[in-house]
Chains A and B, each alone.
Chain A
Amino acid sequence: MGVSIANHDSSAALVQTIAEAAEKGRALQMTGSGSKAFYGRQATGDPIEVSPHCGVINYEPRELVIKVRAGTPMSQLEALLASEGQMLPFEPPHFGPNATLGGTIASGLSGPRRPYAGSARDFVLGTTLINGLGQRLRFGGEVMKNVAGYDLSRLMVGAMGTLGLLLDVSMKVLPLPEIECTLVQELSEAKAILLMNQLAGMALPLSAASYDGLKLYLRLSGSEPGVTAARSQLGGDLLEEDNAFWQKIREHQHSFFNTDKPLWRLSIAPAAPPLALPGKQLIDWGGAQRWLISDQIPAATVQQAAEAQGGHAQLFRGGDRLGVVNQPLSADLMLIHQQLKQAFDPKGILNPGRLYPEF
């Protein structure tokens, strides 16, 4: 393997830190390297650094499985996979050059390929974690199918470190597509949404679909004959430098995201019609993810608009990070969340308040 990755096991120290904090009831705030510090609510507590716990524990390309320590930088991990012609299919955004795998999985973020390939949690096969009592626990495994016990490793994805500190994660990986290309077409928003969804219902090697307010961008990925056949079926212009385009969408470096105003993420049913909300929008995930930049709009208005389309809204960046960031949960769901938090972290010391103010 041509990619070298630092290898260091600091799990014993992490276990000890959490066990001591549990004893004293002292809150801890986990950081991979802080690239997603903007995201979610601000946590409170003493910092505990995961990034020194890094390295690849096991990687056998033939098995399509990789097991990696949480502090491993995403850039190195992805370079290693690419050197074997493989990838993390959920195309995770890094939001910073040092992003770690732990932070990526804890945040549960996925990129443009998500509707067609699956999400971060879809590719997680197992985890080793430290719960709020300082116990080191292993769930899931390195095999493709596993229903022994509850699926607690997938539960960690998107939990923002509030249920446990991830020590390592096993993931399913896939071969890189033989070829990719992107087709562009100018369309109205309503027509673009309709087309993205009609095409997703047809047997085509679609791997991303985005609309920037003017043009629809469709990415095709797969085998040479598959992509070629789809290209001639679809028409449209070929986008030059399409890798860079999707990289910018994924990392929020596209000019749309260049703003100091609050950025909302609306996760809704993909075929939902254009949303009449003040501000500007960019559509990704074939219609299922709508980015909204708007500075005067009340949170409740955005949330209601998302709810009406079967989804929810999230203040992704900017705005008041101590206010309402995630869509409020129903009373029954909040109770389940609090009881689950209690089940993993009875002292409430892991990233308190990072997800919701209540726990």
Chain B
Amino acid sequence: MSEPSLSMDKPALIRALQRVLPERLIIHEDEALRPYECDGLSAYRQVPLLVVLPENSEQVQQVMQCCHQRGVPVVARGAATGLSGGALPLADGVLMSLAKLNKILDIDPLNRTARVQPGVRNLAISQAVEAQGLYYAPDPSSQIACTIGGNVAENSGGVHCLKYGLTVHNVLELKVVTASGELVVFGAAALDAPGYDLLALMIGSEGMLGIVVEVLVKLLPTPQRAQVLLAAFDDVSKAANAVGDVIAAGVIPAGLEMMDGMAIRAAEDFVHAGYPVDAEAMLLCELDGANDEVSAQLAKVRQQLLDSGATEVRTAKNEEERALFWKGRKSAFPAVGRISPDYYCMDGTVPRKRLAEVLLETSRLSEHFQLPVANVFHAGDGNLHPLILYDANKPGELKRAEDLGAAILELCVKVGGTITGEHGVGHEKIHQMCVQFSAAELTQFHAVKHAFDPLGLLNPGKAIPQPRRCSEYKSLGSETLTPPSARGV
């Protein structure tokens, strides 16, 4: 990680910030900075130069202007649940936490929108509008903690995005502070806005194009009824193929999630959801809509799952059991965390029809690198989350986990998929971007970044590699990292 540059005069920067922020909103002492050194991907750590905690958008603007004048880089941070090192600080940069901008500003039931600050937690929005019979659809498993600002930066999904879309489909307007400290509005309270679709461009831009200071989200009516089916399989491939079968039957489930044997047993030990611990794989399939509609679809999907080889299909007996089934799924990452000192979560997406083959190849790679892999993921979208189990205290294991992860991501690209479905490139997958994009495409990304942030001050070094670094990575030979078994796919 970068050393503080010599030109960086920390005391002068602190004095300048003290002119625009109250003392208590600036953290600059070493011990106090520690908690900010990483996000959810704790294998990478870096203590920032200092941390600021603005309380309103004017302060965000003033901090940005101050940093812009001095050429100081700024990294935004929400709740730091990100899994790609997106909010990893810079040694010579300011880390801006948006945690104090945490107010729900307005709820408009008739227009079905909520205007919120970026530090508002994802789940808090749905809780605030529950009484109106509305909810905010994207529900990442981290929704208790993660912020809407982080969701916007990563275009986060959740278990319900198969039917209701990602963050990009559920946000109407953003207020954004640019690198130079201007306040701009992308999108509108209407369904579109004049000119280029800057709203779509901003969503998923990983804090590289601007700081989000306000979000107008779209709210949906709570379905009349939601019901979940649990299907057990004695074979991972059968479960993977059943995913496509359900969708081919003309049903778009509200959620369609898969867990393999290791994930099932870890989750069951953790939350006692009543999962089938002898199964090799399990699908959770949620159906929602009008009462009769759900009944008809339940019958159809149950039959389809049995036809696809399920050994058992269960319907949640009541609302408590439905919640419990989902709780097991949503706590699967921490559950796996209990059975291994460390785990490393990957995030590739592949065409649904390639799921079985990619899971099989992943288990071969797991053997080759001699590290166990548990799978728990958004199967309906083809979005895999292989969890690589390792022990950072054993010499070489982190490196081996990284190499295994890289091999899995390159496998995803090879079968027509992508290196990241929802967690972002961040610091972590910067090399794999070279596998997915040509030098001209990367240059185009940099040109877009330049259009918003000519000095390159917002989250520099993340998400988009320099084409030059790619040729180094490629000449090093990612081939050498990939075992022969993965190449033929």
Query: Which A residues lie at the B interface, using CB under 8 A?
Result: 60-65, 85, 108, 114-115, 118-119, 121-122, 131, 135-139, 141-152, 154-155, 157-159, 163, 174-175, 194, 197-198, 200-205, 222-226, 228-230, 267-271, 285, 288-289, 306, 309-312, 314, 326-327, 329-330, 332-333, 336-337, 339-340, 342-344, 355-356
Contacts and interface: CB of A to CB of B under 8 A. Distances in A.
Interface residues of B, number: 93
Nearest to A137: B441
B381 interface: yes
B111 interface: yes
Contact of A201 (B132, B189, B417): B132
19 contacts: A85-B250, A138-B441, A142-B351, A142-B416, A150-B208, A154-B201, A174-B252, A197-B110, A203-B222, A204-B221, A223-B289, A267-B188, A267-B190, A289-B191, A326-B195, A342-B447, A343-B448, A343-B451, A355-B195
A310 to B, nearest CB: 3
B410 interface: no
A136 B448 CA distance: 16
Contact of B161 (A65, A142, A145, A285): A145
Nearest to B225: A203
A75 to B, nearest CB: 24
B204 A311 contact: no
Given A157-B200, A326-B195, 5 more contacts: A141-B417, A174-B252, A197-B110, A269-B189, A344-B444
Contacts of B10: none
A298 B431 CA distance: 54
Given A152-B444, A229-B290, A312 B194 contact: yes
Interface in B424-476: 424-425, 429, 433, 436-438, 440-441, 444-445, 447-452, 463-464
Q: What are the 8 closest A-B residue pairs judged by CB atoms, nearest first? A: A310-B189, A311-B190, A225-B292, A226-B293, A145-B421, A339-B451, A343-B447, A154-B200
A337 B448 CA distance: 11
Q: With a 10 A CB-CB cut-off, give which of B108, B350, B429, B451 has the most chain A CB atoms.
A: B451
Interface string B381-422: 111000000000000000000000000000000001111111
A200 B197 CA distance: 25
B293 A229 contact: yes
B195 A288 contact: no
A312 B182 CA distance: 22
Given A141-B417, A205-B289, A314-B194, A149 B447 contact: no
Nearest to A311: B190
A158 B196 CA distance: 7
Contacts of B378: 145
A326 B154 contact: no
A200 B351 contact: no
B120 to A, nearest CB: 20
B352 interface: yes
Interface string B282-313: 00000001111101110000000000000000
A329 B198 CA distance: 12
Given A62-B352, A226-B292, A332-B184, A137 B421 contact: no
B178 interface: yes
Nearest to A224: B296
B203 A151 contact: yes
A136 B419 CA distance: 21
B334 interface: no
Nearest to A269: B189
A197 B423 CA distance: 34
Contacts of B445: 149-150, 152
A151 to B, nearest CB: 5
B96 to A, nearest CB: 20
Contacts of A355: 195
Interface in B133-176: 133-134, 154-155, 157, 161-162, 165-166, 168-169
A143 B349 contact: yes
Contacts of A147: 154-155, 204, 206, 418, 420-425
Nearest to B204: A147
B191 A114 contact: yes
Contacts of B237: none
Q: With a 10 A CB-CB cut-off, give which of B162, B190, B205 has the most chain A CB atoms.
A: B190
A129 B381 CA distance: 25
A325 to B, nearest CB: 10
A336 B452 contact: yes
B479 interface: no
Contacts of A285: 191
B112 interface: yes
Contacts of A311: 188-190, 193
Contacts of A224: 296
Contacts of B420: 146-148
A223 B297 contact: yes
B48 interface: no
Contacts of B290: 203, 205, 225-226, 229-230
A52 to B, nearest CB: 24
B255 to A, nearest CB: 13
A222 B290 CA distance: 10
Given A143-B350, A147-B425, A154-B168, A343 B444 contact: yes
Nearest to A202: B221
B421 A141 contact: no
Contacts of A340: 196, 448, 451
B444 A131 contact: yes
Q: With a 10 A CB-CB cut-off, give which of A119, A139, A223 has the most chain B CB atoms.
A: A223
B440 A137 contact: yes
A326 to B, nearest CB: 5
B369 to A, nearest CB: 23
Contacts of B224: 203
Nearest to A194: B110
A148 B419 contact: yes
B441 to A, nearest CB: 5
A225 B296 contact: yes
A198 B110 CA distance: 6
A158 B383 CA distance: 28
B192 A270 contact: no
A311 B185 CA distance: 12
Q: With a 10 A CB-CB cut-off, give which of A148, A151, A267 has the most chain B CB atoms.
A: A148
B118 interface: no
A139 B382 CA distance: 18
B109 interface: yes
